[in-house]
A and B are shown apart, each in its own frame.
Chain A
Amino acid sequence: MASKVIHALYTDDDVLMHAVKKVKEAKHHIEEVYCPFPVHGLDKAMGLAPTRIAITAFIYGCIGLAVATTMMNFIMIEDWPQDIGGKPSFSYLENMPAFVPIMFELTVFFAAHLMVITFYMRSKLWPFKEAENPDKRTTDDHFLMEIEIHNNEDELWQLLAETGAVEINISEK
């Protein structure tokens, strides 16, 4: 399906923020905004849902803690409870202080790494992935707002021109 999109380019993040608000007010759906750096408050202005990555990290941390506990309980207490330097290997609790550093590190390890991997997967980032920027200048000093056109080309053009866009292009997608 060939659909047309309109690209409005800006050179200032303040102008971009106002433009986003104006476009939202006019009830147009913003497909995407490309920025060279994080613009504070842009997600709120666009009405994006808050991220749930912190929740996933918490769950991953719990998994890491469970892995550490199960592993050391099996190895040190159940499988071969040796007397190593007089440490009490009768139950997990009795020898727990010695396990805490590992429990802590594995919790952090799982939480951090799995969260990063989750981030890569959800944002579809991997090596050799083809870059998706519609205009190379958006990695340097330009901001780009992309809106899909539904037979309202002129109206959109008009609106975007009023928001202070330095350049407006229409392209097939």
Chain B
Amino acid sequence: MYTISNRLKIASIILMVLGAIGIGIGFGSSPSTAEEAKEMIASHGEGHGDAHAENVTEHHGVAESHHGNAEAHGDSEAHHDSSHDEHLLHQLQNRPWAAVYVAAFFFFMIALGVLAFNAIQRAAQAGWSPLLFRVMEGITSYLVPGGIIMFVLLACSVAHLNHLFVWMDPEVVAHDELIQGKSGFLNGTFFLIRAVIFLAGWIFYREYSRKLSLAQDEASDDSNFLKNFRASAAFLVFYLVTESMMSWDWIMSVDPHWFSTLFGWYIFASMFVSGITVIAMVTIYLKSKGLLQDVNDSHIHDLAKFMFGISIFWTYLWFSQFMLIWYSNIPEEVTYYVTRIADFKLPFFGMIVMNFLFPVLLLINSDYKRLNWFVIMAGVVILGGHYLDIFNAIMPSTVGDQWFIGIPEIGSVLFFAGIFIFWIFRALSKAPLQPKRNPFIEESKHFHY
């Protein structure tokens, strides 16, 4: 039996408190009126603001002499200015919300990725992984709190507490025929109903599989194992459909004018690789504490191979999506990447380095995949890269060029990291770390590559 150490408990609580303070500062410092928003931007970068202002006056002057109709021009300028400020206000107000949303989804998707991995291992009857089942089950326990938080955030959006999803704003929809055409799918009620169905299905499988897994330890036959096998196979079918729809709902719909067919797969690859990385990290941590005695370097090697392979898979999907849109350059699709490359250059391309180049060069060597500290190091970079991936998916349509990785973003990550660590290690301490009667457990103990 594993007992959560006091140091880990205190560390996770400190993370939560620090994170909560960061989130609080984020909400506290977001502007409530357009004037405030303008002031914030003006005081933000004096040099930038000055240059901008100069530009405007110059432009203004030229336009004036050209038209000789200062009054009309002034009018249009004022109008343009106010709509611009309104836009800015929304972006700045969105920032703390988006920061929380990105972090909440990031940690939730780790748990969901692990759930998928767990189901695949069970459905494939893998011989190497049964030793890691309890670790996986521990991580998937975060589905419940994480799912509730996600649902509350989505409900907040539907209740118009924020502007994360532009299609939820009836005023926007009234003037937007494109969104009107999609309102059969994109409407608040149906959106929440879908979220409930997805979350209920995932959490139900998680709890059911966990129950069977624990029951198998005490059973005298393999009926629980068989039931779990069937449930996992069925879950994978359910998961593929719901995960795809979830990615349209929770991520793609922040930009309701844009669509991509392989988006569901792309988000799946991101969650799958982050999930596997976290399995490897938690396993290495528990092993370093002297628990999980039977887990050897070959198990870590296998997980690292998965991290390597799925990182490449993610890149393949990322590139396929990017290249098809870049190549055909259809205006209605390409704006997605135009805004990202214009305003998010560093996170957008930095993510490719972290999620592809780094794992490919570091994890290609078989000896390195057996070095625990090496896997941890690569894992930290991969997780950072996939946080950026979700960041790049949500931020451009919610905060636009007002993005920054500052107190609200780091605070949210710390807060959810705290909950995540606390919850999964609490779940890990609830059952023995090694399954007893799994039919493949002996094979797993002697697994050797």
Contacts and interface: CB of A to CB of B under 8 A. Distances in A.
A38 to B, nearest CB: 15
B329 interface: yes
B326 A97 contact: yes
Contacts of A58: 364
B128 to A, nearest CB: 16
B336 to A, nearest CB: 15
B322 interface: yes
Nearest to A55: B365
Contacts, number: 12
Contacts of A98: 323, 327
Nearest to B323: A97
A97 B364 contact: no
B90 to A, nearest CB: 33
A107 B319 CA distance: 17
A97 B327 contact: yes
B329 A97 contact: no
Interface string A22-54: 000000000000000000000000000000001
A127 interface: no
Interface string A83-108: 00010000000000110100000000
Interface string B355-366: 000000000101
Contact of B323 (A54, A86, A100): A100
Interface string B310-333: 000000000100110011010000
B329 A86 contact: yes
B316 to A, nearest CB: 9
Contacts of B329: 86
A86 B323 CA distance: 15
Contacts of A100: 319, 323
Interface of B: 319, 322-323, 326-327, 329, 364, 366
4 nearest A-B pairs in the assembled complex, by CB-CB distance = A97-B323, A97-B326, A98-B327, A100-B319
Given A54-B366, A97-B327, A98-B323, 9 more contacts: A58-B364, A86-B329, A97-B319, A97-B322, A97-B323, A97-B326, A98-B327, A100-B319, A100-B323
12 contacts: A54-B366, A58-B364, A86-B329, A97-B319, A97-B322, A97-B323, A97-B326, A97-B327, A98-B323, A98-B327, A100-B319, A100-B323
